[in-house]
Chain A
Amino acid sequence: MWQIMWLLSLLPDFVYHLLLIISLLAFGASYILKMVPFITTNAFVIRVASAVLIVFCMWMEGGIANEAKWKARVAELEIKVAAAEKAAAEANGKIETVYVDRVKVVKEVQYVVQNRITKDAAKLDMTCKVDPEAIEILNQAAHAGDKK
C-alpha cells in the first residue's frame, strides 16, 4: 500500500490543489452551465467523476496537511534532540572532570599516607608484632563476595 502513497507523493502538492478546484468547478458547472451542449449531455458523468475526484482530492489534502504537521513536529524534535545530545555531551564532560579530580585527590592522599607509613615503619614495627592469623582474617575479609 505504501507504494501507492509513494507514487501519489511524487506529484507536487499544487497538483491536488488544482485538481480539487477543477473538480469543484466541474461539479458546479454540471448544474449551472446548462446552456453548454457538451455539459448538458454529459452532466451525470461529469457530476459523478467530479464527485469522485473531490473525495480523492479532499483525502489527499488531508494527507498533505497531516504530513506537513508531522514534518514540522519532526523538525521540532530534531532540534530538541540535537540540543539534548549537546547537553548530554556537556554533562559527560562535567562528570568526567569531577570524577578525575576526586580520584586524583584519593591518589594524593594515598601517596601521603604511604609516605607516612614508610617514615614511621620502624616505630610501628617495634611496638607491634602482627599475628599470622590476623593477616589470614584480613585477606579472607578482603575477598568476601568476590566473583568465582
Chain B
Amino acid sequence: MRLAIVVSLLLLTGCVATPVAREFPAVPAGLTTACNVLVDVPATDKLSVVLATVTRNYAQYKECSIKVDSWNEWYNEQKKIFDSVK
C-alpha cells in the first residue's frame, strides 16, 4: 500500500504545469469614457433654443450609439482572435 502511494506520487511529478501567459487585449481609449448626460432645455419660449438643445442631445445619443457599436465590434473581433489560439 505504502509502495503504491509512493509510486503514485512519483508518477504525479510528471504532471508539470506549462502555462503560456496571455495578456488581456487593451480597449481603445475613446471607448472607455462614459456617455454624456442629456442636456436640459433651458426655460424659454423660443423654439430655436429648444431645437438647439434637442439636436445637441441627438448628437450625444449618436456618439453614444457609435460607442456601443464600437464596443460590440471590439468584443466580436477580440473573441474571434482569442478563440483562434488553440
Cα distance A1–B12 when bound, in Å? 9
Cβ proximity bits A52-76 to B, threshold 8 Å, 1 near / 0 not: 0000000100110011001101100
Interface residues of A (CB under 8 A from B): 1-2, 4-5, 59, 62-63, 66-67, 70-71, 73-74, 77-78, 80-81, 84-85, 87-89, 91-92, 95-96, 98-100, 102-103, 106-107, 109-110, 113-114, 117-118, 120-121, 124-125, 127-132, 134-135, 138-139, 142-143, 146
Given contacts A98-B70, A124-B47, A142-B38, is CB(A81)–CB(B20) below 8 Å?
yes
Within 8 A of A (CB), among B47-79: 47-48, 50-57, 59, 62-63, 66-67, 70, 73-74, 77-78
Q: Do residues B70 and A77 form an inter-chain contact, with CB atoms below 8 A?
A: no
Residues from chain A with Cβ under 8 Å of B37 in the complex: 146
Cα distance A78–B18 when bound, in Å? 11
Shortest beta-carbon distance from B73 to chain A in Å: 6
Given contacts A92-B26, A124-B47, is CB(A138)–CB(B55) below 8 Å?
no
Interface residues of B (CB under 8 A from A): 9-14, 16, 18, 20-23, 25-31, 37-48, 50-57, 59, 62-63, 66-67, 70, 73-74, 77-78, 81-82, 84-86
28 contacts between A and B (CB under 8 A): A1-B10, A2-B16, A63-B14, A67-B16, A71-B18, A74-B18, A74-B20, A77-B85, A80-B84, A84-B81, A87-B84, A88-B82, A91-B78, A91-B81, A96-B30, A99-B30, A102-B66, A103-B30, A110-B56, A124-B47, A125-B47, A125-B48, A130-B44, A132-B43, A135-B44, A135-B50, A142-B41, A146-B37
Shortest beta-carbon distance from A103 to chain B in Å: 6
Shortest beta-carbon distance from A144 to chain B in Å: 10
* Nearest-CB residue, chain B, relative to A141: B38
Residues from chain B with Cβ under 8 Å of A131 in the complex: 45
Partner of B45, one of A80, A132, A142: A132
Q: Do residues A85 and B23 form an inter-chain contact, with CB atoms below 8 A?
A: yes
Given contacts A98-B70, A146-B37, is CB(A134)–CB(B16) below 8 Å?
no
Residues from chain B with Cβ under 8 Å of A109 in the complex: 59
Residues from chain A with Cβ under 8 Å of B29 in the complex: 96
